């Protein structure tokens, strides 16, 4: 949709499911530790997007020349006002669908203004959530399936 990279487009995985991203997709799960809690930054997806109105991570299609971290940082910059200089990626989790995968990059927020805003129409809102609040939200189905593993990785 936005960005116009060579990875934009629908493809079918070996399981017969349709996915956005000719070379796979990636998103970024930003974590931060406050005095009391660990929190994560989530994107409220615009109503017109796939599974609109749900919460997930900023992300999208990988381009042919990108690794998952490059794609996740680029997508975060396209969809939000997050500055990559304030993020420190520390681990990746791959959801492999057979011939197509979605990689969630976990990154620590390292400082600066933490009041992020949408940068394009794909993002309705951005909010920080405590880990125990995430499962109470209406989550994008892919993120909901990944959340237990992602939470475990954050808590380690």
Share the mean pLDDT of the chain: 92
Burial of 100: CB neighbours in 10 Å, binned 0-12, 13-18, 19+: buried
What pLDDT, on the 0 to 100 scale, is given for residue 4?
A: 65
Residue 80 in this model has a pLDDT that exceeds 50: yes
Residue 1 in this model has a pLDDT that exceeds 50: no
What are the φ and ψ backbone dihedral angles of 21, each rounded to 5 degrees?
120, 105
What pLDDT, on the 0 to 100 scale, is given for residue 50?
A: 85
* Matching residue, tokens 């990626």: 89
Cα(34)–Cα(40) distance, rounded to whole angstroms? 11
Residue 34 in this model has a pLDDT that exceeds 80: no
The tokens describing 40, both together, are 């994560």
Instruction: Show Cβ contacts of residue 3 under 8 Å, excluding neighbours closer than 6 positions.
Output: 60, 74, 75, 78
What pLDDT, on the 0 to 100 scale, is given for residue 24?
A: 94
């Amino acid at each position: 949709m936005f960005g116009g990279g060579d990875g934009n487009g629908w493809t079918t995985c070996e399981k017969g499911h349709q996915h956005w991203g000719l070379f796979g997709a990636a998103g970024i799960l930003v974590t931060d530790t406050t005095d009391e809690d660990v929190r994560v930054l989530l994107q409220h997806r615009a109503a017109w997007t796939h599974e609109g109105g749900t919460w997930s991570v900023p992300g999208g299609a990988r381009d042919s020349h990108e690794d998952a971290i490059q794609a996740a940082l680029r997508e975060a910059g396209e969809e939000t006002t997050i500055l990559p200089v304030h993020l420190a990626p520390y681990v990746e989790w791959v959801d492999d669908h057979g011939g197509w995968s979605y990689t969630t990059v976990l990154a620590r927020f390292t400082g600066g203004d933490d009041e992020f805003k949408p940068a394009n129409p794909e993002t309705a809102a951005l909010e920080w959530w405590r880990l125990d609040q995430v499962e109470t939200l209406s989550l994008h189905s892919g993120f909901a399936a990944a959340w237990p593993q992602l939470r475990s990785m954050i808590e380690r």
